[in-house]
Amino acid sequence: MQVLARHDVRVSGVPEGRPIVFVHGFGCDQSMWRLLVPDFARDHRVITLDLVGSGHSDLEAYDPVAYGSLSRYADDVLEVARELELEDAVFVGHSVSAMIGALAVTRAPECFGALVMVGPNPRYVDDGDYSGGFSRADIAGLLDSLDTNLVTWAATMGPVIMANPDRPELAQELTESFCSTDPDIARAFARVTFLSDNRTDLPAIPVPTLVLQCSADAIAHDAVGVYVHQQVPGSVLTRLAATGHCPHLSAPVETTAAIRAFLRAG
Amino acid sequence: MADPRPDNARSALSRLLDEDATDLYLNAPCGYLSTLPDGTVVKVNHTLSAWLGRTAEDLLGTRLQDLLSVGGQVFYETHMAPLLRMQGAVREVAVDLIRLDGSLMPCLVNAVELRGPDGEPQLVRATVFEATARRRYEKQILDSQSAARAAEQRSRTLQQIVIDLAGASTVSAVAAVAVRRSASLPPSGGAGLLLLLGSGPATALVTADSAGLTPWMIAALERAAHGSLTLLGNLGSARVVLPDERMQAAEPELVRVMHAQEVSALVVVPVRAEERTLGLLVLISYLSADSKGGLIDLEEPGTGWVPSRDELGLCTTVGVQVGEALARARLHEEQTRQAARVSYLLDASQQLAGSSGVQETVDRLVAVAVPRLADVCVVDVGHGRVLRRLAARHGNPARQGLADALLRYEVPPRSSGHPAAAAVTHRRTQWLQVQEADLRVLLPERDQQDAVRALEPAEILSIPLIAAGQCLGAITLISDRHRVGLGPADVELAEQLALQLAVRLHQEERLAAEVAISHLLQQSLLPASPPARPAPGLRAAFRYLAATQGVDIGGDFFDVAPLPAGRVAVAVGDVVGHDLTAAATMGQLRSVYRALLAGESGPAALIGKIQASWEMLGLQRMATALFATLDAATGELRVASAGHLPPVLLTDGRARLLNVRPARMLGAPASDAVEWSGVLPPGGSLVLYTDGLVESAGADLDIGLDRLVSAVQGCAGTSPESMCDELLEVLTEDHRADDIALLVLQRDG
């Protein structure tokens, strides 16, 4: 149970349904999946969790050295999967968690039967012919910019985040969730997110994989999605009409449909 | 309440307010922006488009994300858009908008999401505030925060180094800590600690420890540092060495290696203590690679690290700490070595003190010398030109055969330059590194060269054995090629050992000389050759044997003197003690005895006279004595004893102790002597002796006397000379603790 508490793991849906694990990316927590969960809960066992350092996870469990690479994050998810005795589960990972998923399903194919990568980018920094979409200077500027928002904002602005008068309970929850992000952890997670290179992990993914590529995604542009699709053996690439980097928020219906179509076909 | 203002003023204001809904929007003191949920701009005010240097037409249809800097885009995607979707609003998000000319405008953005009846997002309205000053202020806060963090990190690093150094008590432990901890300092590529060893022109920089440096790099560093000491210079603080043109001119080899190993910079940190440079700590920075520690390096590949002033300051401080720790460790090591040396020398002196005789002393010395000091130890002893080789020992028992071979040779003539010969000639320690060619020069014989060569000598150390101004020989130590070379401290220790040996050898020599003198003195005091026929009809034979153990010089004496009227005076005595004083006392006593003989006193009267005048004579030691007179013609025998063992009488093939009642010893309070008188029949023998003949360690005196009586009886019918030989043969052993005087008188049959 310690593991489940550590990640504030929430389980809903049909207990005997195929397990589907949603793992959030950088900057968010498991509440990001709220628009997808109700639909999948109809016929799946739905598991959502917070990565250590995000949301309501146990911040005490965070260690900057251990969490200095994605490997530890993947092991964490595997611990949850084993605790819940998952078999043939679907790993849905957004952004950096698409790569965490790549590591997790490769390490424990006995737990996972499918991988859905939402807006994956195995390497943000351009490297020779490979175009990740960012130069080193871009990433350095990005980390500085995150500092500005994370550190000064988190320190001074937490309680003032405007509540939505119509849905006060929602605003309250999110405010708390967002403010619970420790700026030092957020900074370190940003470094791991934007400075990892997981390209060589892609060809080893042993389960059916769906690459969900949004339109006009500034963080993972189309060529990156194509690259991931080419590198993951037998993967499916689905382009969404949704724009931006968070189709599960901006286009939950389309996203749900794409995932369901993939799972049906698989 | 009526408005107190005039009508015209009131209407102007209300006109202004009425007209202003559009104007307020367009020319508000902040930027307004409306976008579709996907960020597409659908409405923008003049203020914002003016700030951005664009027209509203330009901006419409553009996505908000596309107006943001890269960092802003990512923040928009990862935070702003999700939060808007989830909580309906965001406030004071810091982003940079890109102006038409490409410059950035720092802004704060507030936004709300408008939703339709079904909750679906329809529009996002945003206000944009220019925040250049505020951003600058925030940047300063961030900078000072990160500077504080860096300072704290430096202070923690330094603290850790200080703690680790405090626990290092040896030079190698200090070096390990210095290198391990320094390797994590900002350049992070690796570190090496080079220490100055030796002094004067022989000074060299030697790498004590390193991490992350290739042997090639280390060699180049040592050469560069040793060659011109360019690296060392007059360093007061840490310095950056770049492979630039200046360095290229000064240290081309070092620069070549730096390029080849992709080293971007070295930080050279002086390691000092008490104003003295002990060495250098060299930190190395490699050209950045694509990734470091699993994450992509933010430095472009191939660029180098440039230290900040604070980082260099930290390096300097680390150098100071390492220097002080080194000085501490060296002091501690020196104290430990000193203690080990003292204990070693103490042990050696105990070993030598327990020895007796030159050979044993030398044997013990070589056993102490190897393998502690060297692999082979040879001792040559002698005065004048010839040195005798007394011992050669190998520290490895399995190779003792090689050392034994050396015993067959002597030190060659002094002109050969052989170290032992040179040590004795010049009275100075000789220390040389051995080259193959030296052996042929130093040693005359080919097989002697072979014997030494077999030892694989690397260094030879010969020290003269000098005591009381005399050179008694030389001790030679050989260290072979498998041993770390001798150091000055080893040489000093060996010299101390040599001094101990010399003093002990000198003692032995003095002792031997004293023994020789004592015996010589004794011999000279004894009758040079007592007459074989002291009187007609009487034959005499005598033996005097010195003790075999040098320290025991006896005070034994005997005397045979003819008296008028065919009589003979006989005396045997033993002065207490075994030294020169005893021998001298014996001489004096004999003179007194001879003088008193002239007075025609009988034996008992003689004892009385000597006792009476004892104090006046000033004799220093007490003595036992047996005096007798014998009339050769009649056989009349008178005997008196002062504490001496009784003589043995042999008559008719039977031997017995003569029942003489002894008076007290000479020098003890006087007591009357009782004279025994009787007759020595023709053919009878009288045996006089000192206690050395009947005393043996641990055996009862009575047993000794019984053995003597039996032995004398066994001599029946033989001549006095034969009796002496026979008695000594039967009664004495090779080792005698005491002198023996033996005198046999025999009347012709």
> pLDDT tens digit string along B624-633?
999 999 998 9
Judged by CB atoms closer than 8 Å, whether chains meet at B86 and A216 is answered as no
Contact B276, B265 (CB under 8 A): no
Which of residues B734 and B254 earns the better pLDDT score?
A: B254
Does residue A141 sit at the B interface (CB-CB below 8 Å)?
Answer: yes
Mutate one of B64, B70, B73 to test the A interface: name it (highest A CB count within 10 A). B70
C-alpha B312/C-alpha B240 separation (Å) is 8
pLDDT of residue B698: 65
Alpha carbon separation from B456 to B100, B389, B449, B564 (Å, rounded): 85, 20, 11, 79
- Report, as an integer, the average pLDDT of B73-83: 86
Judged by CB atoms closer than 8 Å, whether chains meet at B294 and A196 is answered as yes
Does residue A111 sit at the B interface (CB-CB below 8 Å)?
Answer: no
Q: Which of A140-149, B469-478, B639-648 has the highest mean pLDDT?
A: B639-648
Which of residues B738 and B64 earns the better pLDDT score?
A: B64
**Among A149-153, B265-269, B467-471, whose mean pLDDT is lowest?**
A149-153
pLDDT of residue A161: 36
Q: Which amino acid is at B71?
A: G
C-alpha A156/C-alpha B274 separation (Å) is 50
The nearest CA of chain A is from the CA of B94 a distance in Å of 6
Q: Which amino acid is at B569?
A: A
Does residue A170 sit at the B interface (CB-CB below 8 Å)?
Answer: yes
pLDDT digits (tens, 9 = 90+) for B496-550: 889 989 998 888 888 888 777 777 776 776 666 778 888 889 999 988 887 766 5
Closest residue of A to B40, CA-based?
A243
pLDDT of residue B697: 61
Contact A229, A77 (CB under 8 A): no
- In this structure, which long-range contacts are made by residues B54-60, counting pairs with CB atoms below 8 Å and at least 24 apart in sequence? B54/B99, B54/B100, B58/B100
User: Sign (positive/negative) of CA torsion B36, B40, B42, B44?
Assistant: positive
Nearest to B298 among A136, A162, A178 (CB): A136
3-state SS assignment for residue B465:
strand
- Report, as an integer, the average pLDDT of B254-258: 85
pTM of this prediction? 0.58
The nearest CA of chain A is from the CA of B71 a distance in Å of 4
C-alpha B328/C-alpha B168 separation (Å) is 9
Range 35-64 of A in CB contact (< 8 A) with B:
none
> Which residues of chain A lie closer than 8 angstroms to B72, CB-CB?
145
Q: Establish whether this prediction's ipTM goes over 0.85.
A: yes
Instruction: Determine whether A245 is an active site residue.
Output: yes
Contact B621, B585 (CB under 8 A): yes
Closest residue of A to B67, CA-based?
A218
Judged by CB atoms closer than 8 Å, whether chains meet at A218 and B93 is answered as no
- Report, as an integer, the average pLDDT of B553-565: 81
Range 697-736 of B in CB contact (< 8 A) with A:
none
> Which residues of chain B lie closer than 8 angstroms to A157, CB-CB?
91-92
Judged by CB atoms closer than 8 Å, whether chains meet at A161 and B87 is answered as yes
pLDDT of residue B671: 84
Instruction: Using only the alpha carbons of chain A, give its radius of gyration.
Output: 18
Does residue B296 sit at the A interface (CB-CB below 8 Å)?
Answer: yes
**How big, in percent rounded to 5, are the helix, strand and coil portions of chain B?**
45, 25, 30
Does residue A126 sit at the B interface (CB-CB below 8 Å)?
Answer: no
Query: Which residue in B161, B173, B149 sits closest to B269, CA to CA?
Result: B161
C-alpha B60/C-alpha B126 separation (Å) is 14
C-alpha B98/C-alpha B106 separation (Å) is 9
Mutate one of B78, B96, B153, B300 to test the A interface: name it (highest A CB count within 10 A). B78
Range 611-670 of B in CB contact (< 8 A) with A:
none
Mutate one of A95, A125, A136, A255 to test the B interface: name it (highest B CB count within 10 A). A136
pLDDT of residue B688: 95
Q: State the count of interchain CB pairs (< 8 A) between A and B.
A: 150
Range 5-24 of A in CB contact (< 8 A) with B:
none
Does residue A199 sit at the B interface (CB-CB below 8 Å)?
Answer: no
Range 70-109 of B in CB contact (< 8 A) with A:
70-79, 81-83, 85-96
Q: Which of A97-111, A160-174, B152-166, B419-433 has the highest mean pLDDT?
A: A97-111
Give the list of residues 6+ apart from residue A156 with CB closer than 8 angstroms, or none.
none
> Which residues of chain B lie closer than 8 angstroms to A243, CB-CB?
38-39, 63
Judged by CB atoms closer than 8 Å, whether chains meet at A151 and B85 is answered as no
Query: Which residue in B416, B232, B431 sits closest to B319, CA to CA?
Result: B232
pLDDT of residue A167: 45
Percent of the residues in chain B that have a pLDDT greater than 70, as a whole number = 92
Closest residue of A to B65, CA-based?
A218
C-alpha B91/C-alpha B126 separation (Å) is 9
Instruction: Determine whether A145 is an active site residue.
Output: no
pLDDT of residue B36: 93
Query: Which residue in B516, B574, B519 sits closest to B694, CA to CA?
Result: B574
Q: Which of A196, A217, A229, A248 is catalytic?
A: A217
Tokens found for residue B378: 């040879």
> pLDDT digit of tens for each residue in chain A (266 aa)?
599 999 999 999 999 999 999 999 987 789 889 999 999 999 999 999 999 988 889 988 999 888 989 999 999 999 999 999 999 999 999 999 999 999 999 999 999 999 999 999 999 999 989 999 999 888 988 888 877 776 555 433 333 333 344 544 444 444 444 444 677 888 889 889 999 999 999 999 999 999 999 998 888 999 999 999 999 999 999 999 998 899 998 899 999 999 999 999 86
pLDDT digits (tens, 9 = 90+) for B357-411: 888 888 998 998 888 888 999 999 887 667 888 899 998 999 898 888 888 888 7
Tokens found for residue B391: 């011992």
- Of the pLDDT bands very low, low, confident and very high (cuts 50, 70, 90), residue B61 is very high
Closest residue of B to A35, CA-based?
B86
Does residue A176 sit at the B interface (CB-CB below 8 Å)?
Answer: no
Alpha carbon separation from B237 to A173, B50, B246, B463, B710 (Å, rounded): 55, 54, 20, 46, 98
Judged by CB atoms closer than 8 Å, whether chains meet at A28 and B78 is answered as yes
Mutate one of A51, A70, A142, A253 to test the B interface: name it (highest B CB count within 10 A). A142
HEC string for chain A: CHHHHHCCCEEEECCCCEEEEEECCCCCCHHHHCCCHHHHCCCEEEEEECCCCCCCCCHHHCCCCHHHCHHHHHHHHHHHHHHCCCCCEEEEEECHHHHHHHHHHHHCCCCEEEEEEECCCCCCECECCECCCECHHHHHHHHHHHHHHHHHHHHHCHHHCCCCCCCHHHHHHHHHHHHCCCHHHHHHHHHHHHHCCCHHHHHHCCCCEEEEEEECCCCCCHHHHHHHHHHCCCCEEEEEEEECCCHHHHCHHHHHHHHHHHHHHC
pLDDT of residue A179: 42
pLDDT of residue B513: 81
Query: Which residue in A40, A67, A55 sits closest to A8, CA to CA?
Result: A55
- Say which residue the tokens 């020196």 belong to: B334
Name the CA dihedral angle for A10, A14, A17, A20, rounded to a multiple of 10 degrees. -30
The nearest CA of chain A is from the CA of B300 a distance in Å of 7
The nearest CA of chain A is from the CA of B245 a distance in Å of 29
- Report, as an integer, the average pLDDT of B701-715: 90
Name the CA dihedral angle for B308, B310, B316, B320, rounded to a multiple of 10 degrees. -160
pLDDT digits (tens, 9 = 90+) for B571-605: 999 988 877 788 788 888 888 888 888 777 789 99
Q: Is the pLDDT of residue B280 over 80?
A: yes
**Among A221-230, B177-186, B491-500, whose mean pLDDT is lowest?**
B177-186
Query: What does DSSP assign to residue B200?
Result: G
> Which residues of chain A lie closer than 8 angstroms to B299, CB-CB?
136
Pairing verdict, β B388-394 and B376-381: antiparallel
Judged by CB atoms closer than 8 Å, whether chains meet at A197 and B75 is answered as no
pLDDT of residue A174: 45
pLDDT digits (tens, 9 = 90+) for B44-58: 999 999 999 999 998
Q: Which of A7, A221, A245, A248 is catalytic?
A: A245
Instruction: Determine whether A217 is an active site residue.
Output: yes
How would you label A158-196 residue by residue, b for 16+ Cβ within 10 Å and e otherwise? Answer: eeebbbbeeeeebbeebbebbebbbbebbebbbbbbbbb
Closest residue of A to B122, CA-based?
A250
Does residue A175 sit at the B interface (CB-CB below 8 Å)?
Answer: yes
The nearest CA of chain B is from the CA of A171 a distance in Å of 5
E-strand stretches of B116-216: 121-130, 190-197, 204-211
pLDDT of residue A134: 92
Does residue A66 sit at the B interface (CB-CB below 8 Å)?
Answer: no
